Structure 1
């Protein structure tokens, strides 16, 4: 199950994501609710309680990798 940690106080919200594919914590934010794993070079997006995974193709387009993971492995809570 993907790990998602959150710390909140009146000023700070910190979220740490573990890649559901390679389990790396070397994940960087590339946009609003969009992340990139430097361990296995996939993009992830967070929406409606699910992590969606995508492979970046040579032309820059994204191909879904969601069929490789069980839905329960893609769930996160805030």
Structure 2
């Protein structure tokens, strides 16, 4: 598996169906067969980046 952002294979497993990219610091998780991509904020919260990676109508 590769990171959809930086194409790196440098991913670590952090939970069931959850991965972390050590190159671009994104958290990837899988739910119902769909990949969710999140940025980890300074306070530890997650911000979804799905709208950037999954553009509607393209």
Q: TM over 0.5, yes or no?
A: yes
Q: Which stretches in structure 1 are left out of the alignment for 5+ residues?
A: 1-16, 72-78
1:39 aligned to 2:9? no
Distance 1:18 1:50 in 2: 15
- State which of 45, 51, 54 in structure 2 corresponds to 1:67: 51
CA drift at 1:70: 2.6
TM-score w.r.t. the length of structure 2 is 0.88
TM-score w.r.t. the length of structure 1 is 0.67
CA RMSD of aligned residues (A): 1.1
Instruction: Give the paired residue count.
Output: 55
Q: Spell out the pairing of 1:1-78 with structure 2 (5 A cutoff).
A: 17-70=1-54
Structure 1 residue ranges (4+ consecutive) displaced by more than 2 angstroms after TM superposition: none
Query: 1:17-55 CA deviation, whole Å, 9 max, x = no partner?
Result: 210111000001000111000110000101111110000
